[in-house]
């Protein structure tokens, strides 16, 4: 009887040790997973993320990597100390240039370009001239970096408003834009990063933007009057723009081939 108890105790001890090893191994694996929008920012209770085809621009946007901190760096490598932002996260995509180039519209173009580069589709990459006419990298005679620098320096929110495809509110997907520009001068561009939906069809949006001076792209955490658990309602984000970024009424636009 005593030997049986000894065996049982040994088995229990072995199981406990194995369980501890599995726990710490799993924790280590999880800690090694780089943070992304999808694995870092949870959707509100009662909502589920919308799923888009693998390899699509929308799926790529949903899985953008995030920095491990909430520090926004500008083109001078200085920390943006802004009490204006309510940060949900900062996209891990350092600025390309030590120039005041990568602002709001430019980062929207940067995402579109980086997607094509990562997917090996640079022959399909286009951006716009100031008037909104498509300009293809393959026809430019420029390197990828030079092509982006030209676009960033010579276009703005007006270019995206004129060149991108208009869309209806119920068609919105990650990667789509809120574009504010009524007169061709200074405007603003925000990018939809993720969308979740309730069982009754109500949708919420993660939205972010770069700003002035040129700086890393951040995800804005919606205050309660604009959304739920940091996610914006569509009407809530439009009101947020009216309240805080008054560059004109936004229109909805999409990069589309």
Give 84-139 pLDDT, tens digit per residue. Answer: 999 999 999 999 999 999 999 999 999 999 999 999 999 999 999 999 999 999 99
pLDDT at 83: 87
* Whether residues 22 and 76 fall in one domain: no
Same domain, 160 and 51: yes
Q: Do 136 and 10 reside in the same domain of the chain?
A: no
Q: Given the structure tokens 């390899």, which residue do they identify?
A: 55
Q: Is 205 helix (H, G, I), strand (E, B) or coil?
A: strand
**Which residues partner with 180 through β-bridges?**
188
Please check whether residues 14 and 54 belong to one and the same domain: no
Residues 109 and 207 in one domain: yes
76 token code pair: 């001078």
Side-chain-facing half-sphere of 67: CA atoms under 13 Å: 17
Domain count, the chain: 2
Domain housing 18 = 1-33
User: What is the rounded distance in angstroms from the CA atom of residue 254 to the CA atom of residue 243?
Assistant: 24
Question: At which residue do the structure tokens 């990650």 appear?
Answer: 174
Q: 54-69, pLDDT tens digit by residue?
A: 999 999 999 999 999 9
175 or 33, greater pLDDT: 175
- Residues 92 and 66 occupy one common structural domain: yes
Q: Is the confidence at residue 45, as pLDDT, over 90?
A: yes
Q: How far apart are CA 160 and CA 101, in angstroms?
A: 16
**According to the model, what pLDDT value does residue 10 have?**
41
pLDDT exceeds cutoff 50 at 16: no
């Amino acid at each position: 009887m005593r030997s049986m108890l000894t065996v049982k105790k040994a088995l229990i001890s072995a199981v406990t040790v194995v369980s501890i090893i599995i726990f710490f191994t799993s924790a280590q694996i999880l800690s090694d997973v780089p943070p992304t929008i999808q694995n870092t920012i949870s959707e509100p209770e009662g909502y589920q993320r919308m799923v888009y085809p693998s390899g699509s621009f929308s799926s790529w946007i949903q899985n953008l990597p995030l920095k491990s901190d909430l520090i926004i760096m500008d083109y001078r490598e200085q920390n943006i100390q802004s009490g204006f932002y309510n940060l949900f996260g900062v996209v891990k995509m350092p600025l390309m240039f030590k120039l005041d180039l990568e602002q709001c519209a430019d980062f929207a173009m940067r995402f579109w370009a980086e997607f094509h580069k990562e997917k090996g589709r640079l022959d399909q990459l286009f951006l716009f001239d100031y008037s909104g006419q498509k300009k293809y990298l393959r026809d430019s005679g420029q390197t990828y970096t030079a092509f982006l620098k030209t676009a960033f320096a010579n276009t703005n929110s007006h270019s995206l408003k004129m060149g991108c495809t208009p869309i209806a509110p119920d068609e919105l997907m990650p990667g789509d834009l809120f574009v504010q520009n009524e007169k061709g001068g200074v405007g603003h561009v925000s990018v939809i990063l993720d969308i979740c939906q309730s069982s009754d069809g109500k949708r919420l949006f993660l939205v972010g933007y770069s700003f002035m001076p040129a700086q890393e792209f951040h995800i804005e955490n919606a205050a309660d009057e604009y959304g739920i658990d940091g996610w914006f309602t569509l009407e809530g984000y439009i009101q947020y723009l009216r309240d805080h970024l008054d560059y004109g009424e936004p229109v909805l636009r999409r990069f589309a081939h």
